[in-house]
Amino acid sequence: MSIHGDLPRKTLDVQGTIDDFVQAIGRAYAVRTGGGELFITIGDMGPIDWKKDEMINALVQKLAQYGISIDFSEACGSSRIESVHVTYSCCGETRTFEYGLCSSSSLLWHADCLGVSLCTFILMRIISQVIAKRKVLYKALVLDLDGTLWPGTLSEDGVTSVSARLTGIPGEPFRRFMRWCVSLRKSLGIFLCICSRNNQEEVERFIRSLDEEDFPLLGNLDVLVANENPKSINLAAIAKELSLDIRQLVLVDDNRLERDDMRYAHQGVWVPNWNSHAQLMHQLAGFGIFDKETLSEGDMNRIRNYHALKVERQKGKLPELFVSVHRDEGHVEAEILYRKSNQFRLSNRLDTVDKAASSYYFCLYDSSGENLGICSAISSVLMGEDILVKNWSISYKFFTIGLEEFVSLWLLEYARDGDVIFEYDSREENGKGAEFVAKYCEETVGGVRLTKGTTNVNR
Q: Give tens-digit pLDDT for 118-149.
A: 888 888 888 888 887 777 778 899 999 999 99
Residue 43 has pLDDT above 70, yes or no: yes
Instruction: Specify whether 324 is located in the same domain as 443.
Output: yes
In a domain, 180, yes or no: yes
pLDDT level of residue 286 (50, 70, 90 thresholds): confident
Domain boundary among 86, 106, 130: 130
**For the residues of 217-232, what is the DSSP string, one character each?**
TTT--SEEEESSS-HH
* Spatial contact of 150 and 178, defined as CB atoms under 8 Å apart: no
Domain boundary among 79, 96, 130: 130
In a domain, 301, yes or no: no
Instruction: Specify whether 211 is located in the same domain as 104.
Output: no
The pLDDT of residue 295 is: 55
Range name among 61-75, 253-267, 292-306, 391-405 with the lowest pLDDT average: 292-306
The pLDDT of residue 227 is: 94
C-alpha span between 248 and 404 (Å, rounded): 22
The pLDDT of residue 453 is: 46
Total number of domains constituting the chain: 3
Element at 41 (helix H, strand E): strand 38-42
Sign of the four-CA dihedral 253, 205, 233, 315: negative
In a domain, 306, yes or no: no
pLDDT averaged over every residue in the chain:
81
Which CATH number covers residue 373?
3.40.630.30
Instruction: Specify whether 345 is located in the same domain as 232.
Output: no
In a domain, 282, yes or no: no
Residue 3 has pLDDT above 50, yes or no: no
Phi, psi for 150 (deg, rounded to 5): -150, 150
The pLDDT of residue 454 is: 44
Which CATH number covers residue 151?
3.40.50.1000
Instruction: Specify whether 324 is located in the same domain as 426.
Output: yes
Instruction: Specify whether 328 is located in the same domain as 356.
Output: yes
**Higher pLDDT residue, 305 or 267?**
267
In a domain, 3, yes or no: no
Instruction: Specify whether 126 is located in the same domain as 146.
Output: no
In a domain, 61, yes or no: yes
pLDDT level of residue 428 (50, 70, 90 thresholds): low
In a domain, 8, yes or no: no
C-alpha span between 89 and 95 (Å, rounded): 6
**Angstrom distances, CA of residue 259 to CA of 224, 263, 265, 284:** 19, 6, 10, 16
C-alpha span between 397 and 408 (Å, rounded): 18
pLDDT, tens only, 175-211: 999 999 999 898 888 999 999 999 999 999 999 999 9
Residue 314 has pLDDT above 70, yes or no: no
Instruction: Specify whether 37 is located in the same domain as 124.
Output: yes
SS3 134: coil
SS3 124: helix
**Angstrom distances, CA of residue 65 to CA of 1, 22, 60, 118:** 36, 9, 9, 23
* Spatial contact of 273 and 23, defined as CB atoms under 8 Å apart: no
Domain boundary among 97, 130, 163: 130
C-alpha span between 11 and 431 (Å, rounded): 43
Element at 89 (helix H, strand E): strand 83-90
Question: What are the residues facing 80 on neighbouring strands?
Answer: 83
The pLDDT of residue 274 is: 92
* Spatial contact of 138 and 193, defined as CB atoms under 8 Å apart: no
pLDDT, tens only, 337-350: 887 777 788 887 76
* Spatial contact of 423 and 392, defined as CB atoms under 8 Å apart: no
pLDDT, tens only, 73-93: 764 444 455 778 888 887 667
Annotate 409-456 with three-state secondary structure.
HHHHHHHCCCCEEECCCCCCCCHHHHHHHHHHEEEECCEEEECCCCCC
Q: Which domain holds residue 222?
A: 140-269
Question: What are the residues facing 191 on neighbouring strands?
Answer: 140
Instruction: Specify whether 197 is located in the same domain as 125.
Output: no
Instruction: Specify whether 124 is located in the same domain as 145.
Output: no
**Higher pLDDT residue, 91 or 377?**
377
Instruction: Specify whether 256 is located in the same domain as 158.
Output: yes
C-alpha span between 379 and 357 (Å, rounded): 6
SS3 262: helix
Instruction: Specify whether 444 is located in the same domain as 372.
Output: yes
**Angstrom distances, CA of residue 357 to CA of 90, 352, 360:** 22, 7, 10
Range name among 18-27, 252-261, 295-304 with the lowest pLDDT average: 295-304
pLDDT, tens only, 352-362: 556 688 899 99
**Angstrom distances, CA of residue 116 to CA of 23, 54, 322:** 16, 10, 52
Above pLDDT 70, what percent of the chain?
A: 80
Q: Which one-letter amino acid corresponds to residue 328?
A: D
Instruction: Specify whether 174 is located in the same domain as 123.
Output: no
In a domain, 229, yes or no: yes
Q: Residues of 106-133 as b/e, b for ≥16 C-beta within 10 angstroms?
A: ebbebbbbbbbbbbbbbbbbbbbbbbbb
Residue 18 has pLDDT above 60, yes or no: yes
Strands (E), 295-410: 322-327, 358-365, 371-383, 386-394
